[in-house]
Chains A and B, each alone.
Chain A
Amino acid sequence: MLKVKNIKVGYDNVPVIFDVSFEVREKEVVSIVGSNGAGKSTLLRTVSGILKPMNGEVEFLGQRIDGLKANKIVELGISHVPEGRHVFGKLSIKDNLLMGAYIIKSEGEKKKSLDEVYEIFPKLKERENQKAETLSGGEQQMLAIARGLMSKPKLLMVDEMSLGLAPLMVETVMQALKYISSTGLTVLLVEQKVQEALEVADRGYVLQNGRMVIEGTGEMLMETDIVKKAYLGL
């Protein structure tokens, strides 16, 4: 579904991602794990078109998308939930969700999307007229994911969703994500919380200093020395 081939990405011509390739297949949950500063967010920002790769290709459903404008990439069916949630704090929860459905023209379709995400996250419905900034961190993460679902994406990319959340809340959002993937949505997860991320994933990649060092199924990766030593502290 998503094929990233040998991309090199940087800021102001200083590369932070070197020759990285990975793939997400239909209906998979893929996790890319790595420590802070490894380049995980840069990777997602490149896929969603906010950053342009210096080298390499990004292909989605057989079409090259590097070089497309970010808003066009959303229309193709990639939804990116950014790190740090970035809900629109001054807008109401409902308006945040409707912004997520910005590319959907039909009012009926929008309403349907809204009902669907309210079903997954009933708390958001209770407070739909409240400003997003009044939510707690965990609730804002729920909102960010719900907003990401509003455009009816084919691929949902979630950046660091455990960031700043209490362990119990991490568990809750992971459960929500599991449910979402069980509905057939393809998910690409980028996480520092290696264990949680690899547990929910079908396959995973480990990114270190801008390079993919290892890939495999979630269980297999957790048994490798690299992951055990560097991330799980075993």
Chain B
Amino acid sequence: MVLQIISNGILMGFIYALVAVGLTLTWGVMDITNFAHGEMLMVGMYTAFWMFELFSIDPLLSIPISTLVVFLLGVLLYKLVIKRVLGGSGLTALLATFGLSMFLKNLAQFLFSPNYRYINGAIVTDKKIVLGNVILGLPQVVAAVGSIIMTLIIIYFINKTKTGKAIQATALNRDTALLMGIDTDKIFAITFGVSGACVGAAGALMSSFFPIYPQSGGLYSIIAFVIVAMGGLGNIKGALYAGLIIGLTEALGGFFLGTQFKYALVFLIYLIVIQVRPKGLFGW
């Protein structure tokens, strides 16, 4: 039984981690706390839903589409809103992303109604993998594997490509990056886009086993904030480990203490980590 709970926790942890990787990028690189991150996830989920409803494209196959859609949304939000509040006080940026979050939620409600939507009959729906005593839902396994792949792609992109290294340089020192001839404005737009791509992929992966509605991103973004703070700002591997810790905490806590306490436990761990290591477990 415990093995079953741990497996569920780990699967969920990888998905949380991918959402958090997106958040840690904008937070660490641009120093922007993006409150609309969850709503970008919601857009990813809706993209997968509508691709399935309208064109019968399975969520598995629409991963690239929703990744691209939310990437572009990220670039657009940067150009229209974030760019204008960068360099101002932190509070301005905070309020701007909060406003974006409200706007996107209400826009989704206006366009798609507040109803819960489900994707029924996806390739992975209701299939199971049985390993001894442990039964894993195929949607969750696929989502976890997809999240791992996407996280690895992001890690590769940041550490090995020229643009990725320029993103790191910009995060470490914006003015010096400018002096290297790096167009930091473009780097910021890309960073916001890549952050969107993370939740675009996550949204499509989650859409086959989570209800889709205008508020569906909220909870994940709050958990992502906890993971980012635990993992260290801008630290992608840290977000991965912290995501697993949170996934396990939630699963084990929910089992032993009751589901009503699982988030309390998540935030309790967060408070303890922040007291002991303010820069996060894996902070710079």
Contacts and interface: CB of A to CB of B under 8 A. Distances in A.
Nearest to A148: B179
Interface stretch (A93-101, A181-189, A203-211, A215-223): A93-101
Most buried by A among B172, B176, B178, B180: B180
B256 interface: no
A193 B96 CA distance: 46
Interface string B168-187: 11001101111111111000
A151 B162 CA distance: 15
Given A88-B173, A89-B172, A95 B179 contact: no
A206 B19 CA distance: 55
A82 B179 contact: yes
Interface stretch (A32-40, A66-74, A117-125): A66-74
A145 B183 CA distance: 21
Contacts of B178: 49-50, 70-71
B165 interface: yes
A42 interface: no
A88 B179 contact: no
Contact of A88 (B168, B181, B184): B168
B181 A75 contact: yes
Contacts of A49: 178
B268 to A, nearest CB: 31
A80 B179 contact: yes
A74 B183 CA distance: 10
Given A88-B168, A90-B168, A91-B169, A151 B176 contact: no
A76 to B, nearest CB: 10
A82 B179 CA distance: 8
A102 B176 contact: no
Contact of A91 (B168, B175, B182): B168
Interface residues of A, number: 24
A105 B162 CA distance: 11
B176 A86 contact: yes
A64 B209 CA distance: 59
Contact of A69 (B175, B180, B183): B183
A98 B182 CA distance: 12
A93 B181 CA distance: 18
A82 B184 CA distance: 17
A169 interface: no
B166 interface: yes
Given A50-B175, A82-B176, A86-B173, A102 B168 contact: no
A90 B172 contact: yes
B284 interface: yes
A91 B173 contact: no
A48 interface: yes
Most buried by B among A69, A70, A79: A70
B172 A88 contact: yes
Contacts of A80: 179
A103 interface: yes
Contacts of B180: 74, 99-100, 102-103, 147, 151
List 9 A-B pairs, minimum CB-CB distance, nearest first.
A74-B181, A103-B181, A70-B178, A86-B176, A71-B183, A71-B181, A88-B172, A102-B180, A80-B179
Given A95-B165, A103-B181, 10 more contacts: A71-B182, A80-B179, A88-B173, A90-B172, A91-B165, A99-B166, A100-B180, A102-B162, A102-B180, A147-B180
26 contacts: A48-B179, A49-B178, A50-B178, A50-B179, A69-B183, A70-B181, A71-B182, A71-B183, A74-B181, A80-B179, A86-B175, A86-B176, A88-B169, A88-B172, A88-B173, A88-B176, A89-B172, A90-B284, A91-B165, A95-B165, A98-B162, A99-B182, A102-B162, A102-B180, A102-B182, A151-B180
Interface of B: 162, 165-166, 168-169, 172-173, 175-184, 284
